[in-house]
Chain A
Amino acid sequence: MMIQLAADGPQSPLLPVWPEIVIGLICIGVVYLAFHKKLLPAINKALDERREAIEGGMEKAEAVQAEARQTLEEYRAQLDDARRDASRLRQEAQEQGATLIAEMREEGQRQREEIIAAGHAQISAERQQAAEALRQDVGKIAIDLAGRLVGESLEDHARQSRTIDRFLDDLEEKAEAGR
């Protein structure tokens, strides 16, 4: 049961039917217009946006990294500064301390010397005073002793020494009473 027996024979497959060519051209035209006007611009836009987004993200990441690096450097610089400051301060403090100690020592020396000098001066003054007072006292006492000795009649030696002893005791009593 051949179906298309109505025709005289099959048409040559190499002979085109021109309305079919027109249909083919219309099909291609429709597809081309759809691609050219709408679809490819849309997808190209999306692809560009994606590329921009990716590149933008990378730029952002790079920026963040650069910032981090800069911050780190700043921090390091600050740390260095701080360290330098600290060492400088320590050195200054040491120097100051040394000078202070030296000054103090000098001051102490000076004060000690002053005190010593003052002491010496006082001592010498007191000694002088004492010598002065002693000289007067010795003279007076000698005169007193001589008077007593003369008055007692210097007969015997025992008496003499007794008198001297008594005199010295008196002197001691006097000195104790005077203290």
Chain B
Amino acid sequence: MSAAFETLAAVNGNIGTIGYGIGVIGAGIGVGYIFGNGVQAIARQPEAAGLIRQNMLLGAALVEALALIGFVTPFIFS
């Protein structure tokens, strides 16, 4: 009886999955901001589109790196 109560809320799988899910929130917000503002900037100044797109991708790559570090961290500690 007591053993059944103990396992009432058991979750199978790797806790790293949840960690990655949480970690990616920030990167998701960041990438969203970057591309949203990038598109806005291009819309306001279409003649600077090349430069804006380049910097936009650069920023997205930097932010994305964080999410990807989160992605590989479980492998480092496994």
Q: Do chains A and B touch in the complex (CB under 8 A)?
A: yes
Binding site for B on A (CB under 8 A): 12-14
Chain B: number of interface residues, binned into ranges: under 10
Residues of chain A within 8 A (CB-CB) of B78 are 12
A-B CB contacts (within 8 Å), total count: 8
Q: Within the complex, what minimum Cβ distance (angstroms) separates A15 from chain B?
A: 9
| 1/0 contact string of B59-78 vs chain A (CB within 8 Å) | 00000000000001001101
> In the complex the two chains form, what is the Cα distance from A13 to B75 in whole Å?
7
8 contacts across the A-B interface (CB closer than 8 A): A12-B75, A12-B76, A12-B78, A13-B72, A13-B75, A14-B72, A14-B75, A14-B76
Residues of chain A within 8 A (CB-CB) of B72 are 13-14
3 A-B pairs closest in CB distance? A14-B75, A13-B75, A12-B75
Within 8 A of A (CB), among B5-57: none
Q: Within the complex, what minimum Cβ distance (angstroms) separates B74 from chain A?
A: 10
Interface on chain B toward A: helix, strand, loop, or mixed SS?
helix
Interface on chain A toward B: helix, strand, loop, or mixed SS?
loop
Residues of chain B within 8 A (CB-CB) of A14 are 72, 75-76
Residues of chain B within 8 A (CB-CB) of A12 are 75-76, 78
Q: Which residue of B lies closest to A13 (CB)?
A: B75
- Apart from A13-B72, A14-B72: 6 A-B pairs, beta carbons within 8 A: A12-B75, A12-B76, A12-B78, A13-B75, A14-B75, A14-B76
> In the complex the two chains form, what is the Cα distance from A14 to B76 in whole Å?
7
> In the complex the two chains form, what is the Cα distance from A12 to B75 in whole Å?
6
Q: Within the complex, what minimum Cβ distance (angstroms) separates A13 from chain B?
A: 5
Q: Within the complex, what minimum Cβ distance (angstroms) separates A120 from chain B?
A: 107
> In the complex the two chains form, what is the Cα distance from A35 to B76 in whole Å?
37
> In the complex the two chains form, what is the Cα distance from A104 to B50 in whole Å?
92
Q: Within the complex, what minimum Cβ distance (angstroms) separates B70 from chain A?
A: 13
Q: Which residue of A lies closest to B76 (CB)?
A: A14
> In the complex the two chains form, what is the Cα distance from A13 to B72 in whole Å?
9
> In the complex the two chains form, what is the Cα distance from A13 to B77 in whole Å?
12
> In the complex the two chains form, what is the Cα distance from A137 to B75 in whole Å?
175
> In the complex the two chains form, what is the Cα distance from A14 to B72 in whole Å?
8
Residues of chain A within 8 A (CB-CB) of B76 are 12, 14
